[in-house]
Structure 1
């Protein structure tokens, strides 16, 4: 009897058809049912204007910080020399200019970004909205709906009535672009200062770039092309690349009767003429010489110059002849420069006459 009674007690507690007498089978819930949106929770700023004003001041402060960051960026650009290095833990010795520019620009951009995020999270409307999927193309009704949403969103953002945020945002956005404008000045020295003058001056001996020996008139054969550089320039120099890029020359010896330009003949020596090796298009080094035509060709964009006629451009995109270097012979019998180039070397620029 006790075992039978025990069995009946257990069977009454089982669900379904083995459950208690007279009970209905259990119903399983739909696991894919739409749970809907949870009740909207209002933020402190939605119900307390003092909290809203506090958030507004935070946003305005971040935008003001961005403006200060931009001003500091410009100040650092002016104050720090490009060669100044400082020790910053844990980075070690870094460029003071680069470090300060990166730090101040980060503050300027971060101020705008964090301020905008804080504005959106604390003051703009955060009500949950359900929007059914629609086709990719928009009809007139959808366009009007989007327009109304834009108007509503602009109104709920408080952009129109929160003048403090609006004014500081305008200031931050207006100042940040100044950083990129100032950076343009750091692309390099002004063309007037860097291209108008080179290492060539009166009395500088022409050195053969291959042998590093002074060039004498008898070393230059008719029809030959020799590359040269000014005396005193060495590959060990820290600014060698900068200087050779402006001072590199090509020396050609022509028959005097083949020279058509009178000034070219006067600036040469016994048919030896010297021109800048730097193309006046984009600054590529010229190295291709046609002995029979006296033409030199730039390998980059095929600008062609006639060395028998003042190195004028006869083909290609170059806009100016190659500058000529006036030469003579010193007491030792070496070829020397009698001054700098006849015009600024390299590509044309806005200050070039």
Structure 2
């Protein structure tokens, strides 16, 4: 039995497994067709590059509200240019492989998983031979046009990064202004000091959400309303006045222990309202940045670099909480430039 296995192992493979004779492609035997195929592939890569440039132009120039045959003109153009570019690049690569790269049939014997040094060297030789047969080195026109189209493929990615959000320097201004009431963000009712108990936290927003113009129309509505609401969101907390240690110039920013801070974490902008009333700490649920609201919202733990922006408060003639001004600090996530500028302001003050 052992002798039979040895004979099977040492047996040579079938020399002719019945495959038909190899047929050469037209591009293998006709130089004119080879040149025509090379030009076609180069043209595909070049047109793909132009379509990618068109994608960037359409993204910048076409208004998002413009329509075409009932569709969004921007979406239609972006889809057509990017899809066409990717299609042409893919078809060009396939045509290159089918018409111009090596077309020889190869037989590879089975071997143990661990290759010998000689086999590894032979594999490297085969890889180099394949690179030579692909014509990558001797077809500079195709190679350069492919690299050109692939380099332009990065343009849409760079252009579309602008859609990821506002530039990373926070919101310098919000809709808060002098005399604007602080209202509950659920019911929209204005807040009086008597409505808050010591240790309580209320999520709030500016009353601009409910203001009307002279014609009775909402000042803000739709997407613009939601954007301004997210930037101006605040929390209102009440502590014992003796527990608060305001910094210089902020002695009158609260009302009988009631303070107001931005709801946007200064780390990466998460909404924050996890309140520890005994320690006066506010915890961000995203990355555990912790702020001491009794000490001007300074950071006591976590990756945040700036204190929470504080909104100065006062009372109107009816006894409701109102803003004295907009936030004096930038509202939003911290970035190295923003943290540096804030430190300079703190050092000056």
TM-score interval (norm. to shorter): 0.7 to 0.9
When residues 201 and 58 of structure 1 are mapped into structure 2, their CA distance, relative to the original with a 3 A threshold, is: same
**Which one of the candidate residues 1, 5, 25 is aligned to 1:43?**
25
- Distance in structure 2 (CA, Å) of the matches to 1:292 and 1:129: 77
Q: Which residue of 2 aligns with 1:14?
A: none
Q: Which residue of 2 aligns with 1:328?
A: 314
1:282-293 map, 5 Å: 282-293=268-279
Deviates more, 1:161-170 or 1:93-102: 93-102
- Distance in structure 1 (CA, Å) of the matches to 2:275 and 2:150: 54
Asked if 1:69 is matched to 2:51, the reply is yes
**Cα contact 2:291–2:299 (8 A) shared by 1:** yes
- Distance in structure 2 (CA, Å) of the matches to 1:178 and 1:47: 40
- Distance in structure 1 (CA, Å) of the matches to 2:140 and 2:172: 52
Asked if 1:250 is matched to 2:235, the reply is yes
1:156-167 map, 5 Å: 156-167=133-144
Deviations 1:243-300 (A, max 9, x none): 3322111112333332212344332233321101222233333223233322222334
When residues 68 and 307 of structure 1 are mapped into structure 2, their CA distance, relative to the original with a 3 A threshold, is: same
**Which one of the candidate residues 200, 208, 228 is aligned to 1:224?**
200
- Distance in structure 1 (CA, Å) of the matches to 2:281 and 2:29: 83
1:1-353 map, 5 Å: 35-87=17-69, 93-192=70-169, 195-233=171-209, 237-239=221-223, 240-262=225-247, 263-352=249-338, 353=341
- Distance in structure 2 (CA, Å) of the matches to 1:285 and 1:158: 57
Deviates more, 1:119-128 or 1:235-244: 235-244
Deviates more, 1:181-190 or 1:221-230: 221-230
When residues 288 and 147 of structure 1 are mapped into structure 2, their CA distance, relative to the original with a 3 A threshold, is: closer
**Cα contact 2:203–2:236 (8 A) shared by 1:** yes
- Distance in structure 1 (CA, Å) of the matches to 2:272 and 2:100: 64
What are structure 1's unaligned runs of at least 5 residues? 1-31, 88-92
- Distance in structure 2 (CA, Å) of the matches to 1:106 and 1:210: 44
TM-score normalized by the length of structure 1: 0.81
- Distance in structure 1 (CA, Å) of the matches to 2:304 and 2:320: 32
What are structure 2's unaligned runs of at least 5 residues? 1-13, 211-217, 342-349
**Cα contact 2:168–2:333 (8 A) shared by 1:** no
Q: Aligned pair count?
A: 316
TM-score normalized by the length of structure 2: 0.82
- Distance in structure 1 (CA, Å) of the matches to 2:143 and 2:199: 73
- Distance in structure 1 (CA, Å) of the matches to 2:15 and 2:26: 32
Displacement after TM superposition at 1:149 (Å): 1.6
When residues 104 and 218 of structure 1 are mapped into structure 2, their CA distance, relative to the original with a 3 A threshold, is: same
- Root mean square deviation, CA, Å: 2.4
**Cα contact 1:275–1:323 (8 A) shared by 2:** yes
